[in-house]
A and B are shown apart, each in its own frame.
Chain A
Amino acid sequence: MSEPLLEFRQVRKWFPITGGVLQLTIAHVHAVDDVSLVIHRGETLGLVGESGCGKSTLGRLGVKLLKPTRGDVLYRGRGLRQLWGRALREFRRKVQIIFQDPYSSLNPRMAAGGVVAEGIAIHRLSGGRPPLDRAADYLERVGLSRDDLPRYPHEFSGGQRQRLGIARALAVQPELIVCDEPVSALDVSIQAQIIELLRELQQEYGLSYLFVAHDLAVVRHISDRIAVMYLGRLCEEAPRDLLCDRPLHPYTLALLSAAPEPDPTIPLQPIPLPGDVPSRVNPPKGCRFAPRCTLASDRCRERQPEWREVEPGHWVACHEA
Chain B
Amino acid sequence: MTVERSPADRPKRRKRSYWRDVWARLRRNRLAMVALCYIVILIVAALLAPLLAPQDPIVQNLSQVREPPSPAHPFGTDLYGRDILSRVLYGSRIALMVGVIATAVAITIGLLLGGIAGYYGGVVDQCVIFIYSIVATFPELLFILALTNALPPSGEPRLFKVYLAIGLASWVGICRLTRNLFRSFREQEYVLAAKALGAGPLRIIFRHMLPNMIGFVVVAIAGGIAGAIAAEAGISFLGFGVTPPNPSWGVMVSEGRSYLQSAWWMIVCPAVATLLAVFSFNLLADGLRDAFDPRHQTA
Contacts and interface: CB of A to CB of B under 8 A. Distances in A.
Interface stretch (B25-33, B70-78, B190-198, B255-263): B190-198
Contacts of A241: none
B194 A99 contact: no
Contacts, number: 86
Interface stretch (B2-10, B41-49, B175-183): B2-10
**Chain A CB within 10 A, most for which of B2, B12, B194, B196:** B196
A65 B196 contact: yes
A145 B199 contact: no
B211 A193 contact: no
Given A65-B195, A97-B193, A104 B188 contact: yes
B212 interface: yes
Contacts of B18: 109, 152
A88 B174 CA distance: 35
B151 to A, nearest CB: 38
A101 interface: yes
B1 interface: yes
Contacts of A165: 193
Nearest to A60: B192
B211 A109 contact: yes
Contact of A107 (B2, B15, B208): B208
A64 B18 CA distance: 33
B11 A160 contact: yes
Nearest to B214: A109
Given A155-B12, A156-B11, A122 B193 contact: no
Interface in B109-141: none
A196 B3 contact: yes
**A interface, size bucket:** 35 or more
Contact of A122 (B2, B4, B189, B198): B198
Interface residues of B, number: 26
**Chain B CB within 10 A, most for which of A107, A119, A145, A165:** A107
A172 interface: yes
B135 to A, nearest CB: 23
A110 B195 CA distance: 15
Interface string A54-69: 0000001001110000
A143 B188 contact: no
A63 B196 contact: yes
B197 A172 contact: yes
Contacts of B196: 63-65, 92, 96-97
B183 to A, nearest CB: 16
Contact of A144 (B5, B192, B197): B5
A216 B188 CA distance: 28
A64 B192 CA distance: 10
A88 B196 CA distance: 10
B215 to A, nearest CB: 10
A109 B215 CA distance: 12
Given A107-B208, A151-B11, A157-B11, A143 B193 contact: no
Nearest to B15: A155
B3 A110 contact: no
**Chain A CB within 10 A, most for which of B18, B197, B207:** B197
A193 B3 contact: yes
Contacts of B197: 92, 96, 118-119, 122, 168, 172
A178 to B, nearest CB: 9
Nearest to B4: A143
Given A119-B197, A155-B12, 9 more contacts: A99-B193, A101-B189, A105-B193, A107-B207, A109-B18, A151-B15, A157-B11, A168-B193, A196-B3
Interface of B: 1-5, 9, 11-12, 15, 18, 188-190, 192-199, 203, 207-208, 211-212
